[in-house]
Structure 1
Amino acid sequence: MSVRPLIALHPQRARLFAAGVPAALLALLLSPFTVPASADDTPVRGSARMGMGVAAHDGSSPASAGPRAGQTEGVDVASYQGDVAWPTLWDGGVRWAYTKATEGTYYTNPYFSAQYGGSLGVGMIRGAYHFATPDTSGGATQADYFVDHGGGWSGDGVTLPGVLDIEWNPYGDDCYGKTPSAMVTWIRDFLDRYRSRTGRDAVVYTATSWWNTCTGSHTGFGKTNPLWVARYASAVGDLPAGWSSYTMWQYTSTGPTVGDHDRFNGSVDQLKSFARN
């Protein structure tokens, strides 16, 4: 197994490398701060994060910097970011954040509590997301796992609804080996169980090309589930089938401080109303 060290996030570890620490020991010391990869460079289960395949499948063009009128800046983070500089993000205009909580039924983010609480601590409205792996277990089962490990919702005004992150499979077949009809059933099972557990409709995070390919351009969720669309460009472009507008837009993976930056399609007051439902 190889590792990709995040020395930029933890420069004190860089001194170990400079001091000639053996590679095997260095990998062990760095393990809490790394994203593992297998020998053939296939990601290890648990390492997936929101938007992992967007640039590779849809391309990327320079995104306009700074806030847009009528929209509110946000970020999404996973264990890959480690300890996040939340005050820096707040000072840069970020007002909301999502943290990866779970993946499949086999992974919970070890940084979840620190990241989820850290964003709230500086005044952000925050929520949790689940990276779906439809080839490992059923939709309802994964929804239960998500809710049981940080993905719940309450109308306290500072908690955003949970997100189903459904996108390209980083571990194999893009559509997880499912036909479009089977994928739609899986998604419906997840969303129905999430609503039954929390009383709130989950947000669907996806990319237009993935959705239209892997669900057969299914239109059945646009009236109930808010859309978070992924497109690394200066314009959001075509939306997935079934949605006529988006609630959130992940517009870049190269933004300041954490990389993944997003925009809520409304003001801060509208964001607060969205959190309260």
Structure 2
Amino acid sequence: MNRRVLVAGALAGCTVMAAGGAMAAGWWTPWAAGELAGVDVSSHQGLIDWRALASDGVRFAYIKATEGGDYVDPTFAQNWTGARDAGLPRGAYHYFTLCRTGREQAAHFIATVPREAGMLPPAVDMEHKGPCRRGPTMPDSVVVSEMQAFLSRLEAHYGVRPILYTTREFHDAHLTELRGERFWLRSLFAPPNFRQDDWVIWQHHNNARKRGVATPIDLNAFRGDEAALQRFALQPEAGT
């Protein structure tokens, strides 16, 4: 192998390493085409410095609030306040299980998440297909109706229809016939190849690094500009 080949090989290796480093750091992002950068967080991220995070190119955040009928994320209240104080539009999400009715899960979310002006629409995470630890798992035939009961109760309370976070696997198993909903889709490193006309947020990275967060973090892209994000976040005044 001559020197030119060696140099070319070394340069190619550096390019691959740089690309891999950029992806890990969260720089390999889609908003060159106009989308805005966001994150979603839970207790897995530990203590977050929200001002540092907001200074690292982040424009919005979704924060885990609840799961099932009785679990509250232990960092929700702190993250909810921290994101607001850092000036970030933020919304809360619920991890929907197949173990409790939609009505029960909606009541739990509503009891936990305040209704505030400027918050993003609530989101429901629909990806769980495993068995329940206690009690029966709801049959496939009622998953959509129970989820819709959840959505309708949140819409009545918060004044806006929640968005649906889902994976391709869960979508194809349960949600293919669903119409008229807005989606937040998980599709790592490539644009979503399903619900292409229906997605509002795209989760494209699950192992990024951002200032103010000690652990890897999920990255998302909002489909629109700053004005569209402001319209997306428009909410009634709390208590109205």
Same fold (TM over 0.5): yes
Counterpart code for 2:209? P
- Residue 255 (1) aligns with residue 208 (2): yes
Q: Which residue is 1:110 aligned to?
A: 74
**Map 1:169-188 → 2, pairs under 5 A:** 169=129, 177-188=137-148
Aligned partners of 1:161 and 1:200 also within 8 Å:
yes
**CA–CA separation in structure 1 for the residues paired with 2:131 and 2:209:** 28
**CA–CA separation in structure 2 for the residues paired with 1:250 and 1:212:** 18
Which string of whole-angstrom CA distances, capped at 9 and with x for unpartnered residues, describes residues 250-271 of structure 1? 1111112341110110112210
**CA–CA separation in structure 2 for the residues paired with 1:64 and 1:133:** 33
Q: Which residue is 1:147 aligned to?
A: 110
Aligned partners of 1:153 and 1:162 also within 8 Å:
no
**Map 1:153-164 → 2, pairs under 5 A:** 153-154=115-116, 156-157=117-118, 159-164=119-124
1:104 CA drift (Å): 0.9
Aligned partners of 1:77 and 1:100 also within 8 Å:
yes
Q: Which residue is 2:232 aligned to?
A: 274
Counterpart code for 1:252? H
**CA–CA separation in structure 2 for the residues paired with 1:203 and 1:228:** 7
1:266 match: secondary structure: coil
So what's the TM-score if we normalise by structure 1? 0.67
Equivalent of 2:60 in 63, 82, 96: 96
Aligned partners of 2:202 and 2:221 also within 8 Å:
yes
**CA–CA separation in structure 2 for the residues paired with 1:145 and 1:245:** 27
Q: Which residue is 2:168 aligned to?
A: 208
Counterpart code for 1:107? Y
- Residue 226 (1) aligns with residue 157 (2): no
Report runs of 4+ in structure 1 exceeding 4 Å deviation.
Answer: 61-64, 170-173
**CA–CA separation in structure 2 for the residues paired with 1:238 and 1:226:** 13
**CA–CA separation in structure 1 for the residues paired with 2:27 and 2:57:** 15
Counterpart code for 1:97? A
- Residue 238 (1) aligns with residue 202 (2): no
User: Where do 5+ consecutive residues of structure 1 fail to align?
Assistant: 1-60
Which string of whole-angstrom CA distances, capped at 9 and with x for unpartnered residues, describes residues 48-72 of structure 1? xxxxxxxxxxxxx988714333111
Counterpart code for 2:203? Q
1:170 CA drift (Å): 5.7
Aligned partners of 2:60 and 2:89 also within 8 Å:
yes
Structure number with greater CO (CA < 8 Å, separation at least 6) is: 2
**CA–CA separation in structure 1 for the residues paired with 2:130 and 2:233:** 30
Q: Percent identity?
A: 28
Aligned partners of 1:248 and 1:263 also within 8 Å:
yes
Counterpart code for 1:236? P
Aligned partners of 1:99 and 1:112 also within 8 Å:
yes
Counterpart code for 2:59? R
User: Where do 5+ consecutive residues of structure 2 fail to align?
Assistant: 1-22, 211-215, 236-240
What RMSD in Å do the two structures reach over aligned CA positions? 2.3
Which string of whole-angstrom CA distances, capped at 9 and with x for unpartnered residues, describes residues 126-175 of structure 1? 0100011121x21011011101101x444x23x111111110346669xx
Aligned partners of 1:95 and 1:123 also within 8 Å:
no
Radius of gyration: which is bigger? 2
Aligned partners of 2:98 and 2:132 also within 8 Å:
no
